[in-house]
Structure 1
Amino acid sequence: MSEKFVSSTAPEPVGLYPHARRVGHLLFLSGVGPRKKGSKDIPGVTLDDEGNIVDYCIETQCRSVFENVRAILQDSGSSWDQLVDVQVFLTNMKDDFKTYNKVYAEYFADNQPCRTTIEISSLPTPIAIELKCIATIYDD
């Protein structure tokens, strides 16, 4: 059995995919970035007129992406404390890891899922971080 979820509060996917898919008691989230719902605005990112990144704040992006993940989990019937695995994609490990790790520790102080952090050269939109998560989900 498989069920798709599209969140009513998280930003729209940038392609043809759901925010999450449930298979049994697992919920698989698609890649989640820091954009805001209903907007192309990216918290913590300043773009020039041609869409190139002029400046960014990784702390602001981290907080926004974590809140987007939380929204998708809640809208799908799971929750933050049911996260079991988090894959984090950063575009600048050298400069951003320390700040990202500090913010991550705030959000995951109680629930500590498995985590992998990977540096990549770019993401499909002008963002510096994206999360791919797996959570548990149970019927009431």
Structure 2
Amino acid sequence: MQPDETSTAHNSSRAPEPVGLYPHARRAGNLLFLSGVGPRQRGQKAIPGVELSEDNEIVRYDFESQCHAVFQNVRYILEEAGSRWEDLVDVTVFLTNMKDDFATYNRLYAEYFQSNQPCRTTVEINCLPTPIAIELKCIAVIGEGR
């Protein structure tokens, strides 16, 4: 089966490597769908603001630094796939600790999305595949759809 010209996978050279068999993003028509994006940094095992125990359990974490890192990774993926931060139309936020982290997330989100206000859903989950406290799943318009 031939891949559809309007459905193209994109991988960023600046965002962290995926932890599974999936692309950073996939374009379908004039939409760009991002896979879940966390705060890790490309080529590094350490997670910004996370201190782990010997058995890989989170001892403490700096949620604010994770947020900044996630937003930067989303920006990297968008830009390398031909879109922009301002073109985001939907953001799904996964938090592992809504009670302690939501207020910080909401404050930072308001700063980053001051001029562009995509739709947003925020959910608390038990854990993520790596020892992180936040992951974003995003949809943006691309190219002629702007």
Q: Say which of 103, 106, 116 aligns to 1:98.
A: 103
* One-letter code aligned to 2:48: P
Aligned residues: 140
Alignment partner of 1:135 is 2:140: yes
Q: Say which of 74, 83, 91 aligns to 2:88.
A: 83
Q: In the aligned structure 1, how far is the partner of 2:111 from the partner of 2:63?
A: 15
Q: In the aligned structure 2, how far is the partner of 1:43 from the partner of 1:14?
A: 16
Give the structure-2-normalised TM-score.
Answer: 0.94
The structure with the larger Rg is 2
Q: Partner of 1:21: helix, strand, or coil?
A: strand
Aligned sequence identity (%):
68
C-alpha displacement of 1:125? 0.3
C-alpha displacement of 1:5? 0.2
Q: In the aligned structure 2, how far is the partner of 1:129 from the partner of 1:30?
A: 13
Give the structure-1-normalised TM-score.
Answer: 0.98
* One-letter code aligned to 1:80: W
Q: In the aligned structure 1, how far is the partner of 2:116 from the partner of 2:46?
A: 30
Q: Root-mean-square deviation (CA), in Å?
A: 1.1
Following superposition of structure 1 onto structure 2, how do residues 13-92 of structure 1 map, counting pairs within 5 Å?
A: 13-92=18-97
Q: Say which of 114, 121, 132 aligns to 2:126.
A: 121
- Stretches of 4+ aligned residues off by more than 6 angstroms: none
C-alpha displacement of 1:52? 1.0
Q: In the aligned structure 1, how far is the partner of 2:48 from the partner of 2:137?
A: 19
